[in-house]
Structure 1
């Protein structure tokens, strides 16, 4: 189904998001904990896959999570019943918050710089923002396969056609700095999987990344981005990386910044 969210709102996609969040919880959330009593806004919470880990790491914070999808929010409420969930568009958000958490959202937006500029207006002076994004250009693997790379490139192309950017991880520093955030720091968070790390092979290489690419196959073939035969070969080759001597590498980028004390631009 063609939506702004290129992966769609299907049950397999909801499971994939949960697998990803649970497998990468330590990698993505290490260093993120909010003080008791602080007001935290999670922007684009989806099915609540990351919300679970935010609550676990900051049990005393007051967390509000928002998303545009009513169906996703219904699943999030079942997953994390003690959080305040709201349906809202990012650009309609208001109020004043101590901290913002934005995970895998900017990659789907046609104007992420405008989104960040608006989010900055929601932070109290001295408040912080944390942004997490992937970068599909950081994927490399063994056995090497041009067909597998072509399948990944189809995902990047479809995301671009939908107004997003599957390569946005590398852009986080300029995006936050240009939006006016201070003290911007970006850290690469790298996933490397081989047979000595079976949890990552299953949880990330197979059930997160390859599943994500597989999910756009029907659309990629229908739009003549790739032939059916080459698509099947590409996905088959991605699965080869999960076998005994296969390896897989991917980099996420975690950025943080603060609002200028006193509210200056």
Structure 2
């Protein structure tokens, strides 16, 4: 989930450039800490049934996972697509090392290969893949439309793309709190300052259409958690969403977005939604589309 869009992606045939220089790792709003890697893994495991349902690739098919990060989603792709040939690409060498270790520790039947590369300058020939899987990547790119157009180059005509994104504007909870909404807004502003967009979920359909994909189908996937679902309260409300927002505290203070007292009030109110009587809702967007010409 960490990819920089620093160069323009263009069409035309390219050879697989095996000596392509390693790209420079970009800034990432959530950081590259071990804690963040655990959060991403917890998020992927928690949401696997919700987000990966309906995603499986035939044996022998060539699948590109664009922006695989620490492999949190890769393990689920590999498990659901036995016999597929998955190429997992990320710009971060350290994330790829963690991804390799994560896959090695879990049983899977798909063939997975790894490549450090920039999504806007992929070292693959045109039409190299049958399917693309892009999960929680576009939200971190300064030009997601350009990235989708570049990815389409390496997708064969008639091949499919699956895109999954969140949208922090879809959050609602009880008890409601302006202070809690404000700290979420700080995370949105910091991600925008880093060149991303935490509200990208609502744009997935027009982005795919503008990039030239056809037959775009969007299906919202909503997480709802209350104390009758304690597993989701812990794994999603506390350990995924609130943990993500809480992690930008120092950056929010350094940027002058908030005071320490206001920040603590907002996080306290947000944590209240995971306690008795609280509820939490978040909607992801999952879209599929086809590269025309097949």
TM-score by length of 1: 0.96
Matching of residue 55 in structure 1 with residue 78 in structure 2? yes
Q: 1:223 aligns with which of 232, 236, 255?
A: 255
Structure 2 stretches of 5 or more lacking a match? 1-25, 105-110
C-alpha separation between the residues in 2 aligned to 1:67 and 1:152?
Answer: 27
- List, as ranges, runs of 4+ consecutive aligned residues in structure 1 with deviation greater than 2 Å: none
Shift of 1:256: 0.7
C-alpha separation between the residues in 1 aligned to 2:270 and 2:45?
Answer: 22
Spell out, residue by residue over 1:168-208, the C-alpha distance to the aligned partner (whole angstroms, 9 max, x if none).
Answer: 00000000001000100111000000011111100100000
- Give the CA RMSD over aligned residues: 0.9
C-alpha separation between the residues in 2 aligned to 1:255 and 1:200?
Answer: 23
C-alpha separation between the residues in 2 aligned to 1:26 and 1:174?
Answer: 26
Matching of residue 106 in structure 1 with residue 126 in structure 2? no
**1:153-232 counterparts in 2 under 5 A?**
153-232=185-264
What residue is the counterpart of 1:88 in the other structure? 117
Shift of 1:4: 3.1
**DSSP 3-state at the match of 1:80:** helix
**DSSP 3-state at the match of 2:30:** coil
What residue is the counterpart of 2:8 in the other structure? none
Spell out, residue by residue over 1:136-157, the C-alpha distance to the aligned partner (whole angstroms, 9 max, x if none).
Answer: 0001101111111000000000
Shift of 1:253: 0.2
**1:245-264 counterparts in 2 under 5 A?**
245-262=277-294
Contact 1:77–1:83, Cα closer than 8 Å, also in 2: no
Shift of 1:83: 2.1
Q: 1:8 aligns with which of 31, 37, 40?
A: 31
C-alpha separation between the residues in 2 aligned to 1:91 and 1:171?
Answer: 19
Contact 1:143–1:241, Cα closer than 8 Å, also in 2: yes
Q: 1:72 aligns with which of 95, 100, 104?
A: 95
Shift of 1:91: 1.4
Shift of 1:232: 0.7
Structure 1 stretches of 5 or more lacking a match? none
C-alpha separation between the residues in 2 aligned to 1:146 and 1:228?
Answer: 16
What residue is the counterpart of 2:269 in the other structure? 237
Spell out, residue by residue over 1:6-55, the C-alpha distance to the aligned partner (whole angstroms, 9 max, x if none).
Answer: 10101110000001000000000001000000000000000000001000
Shift of 1:107: 0.3
**DSSP 3-state at the match of 1:33:** coil
Matched residue count: 260
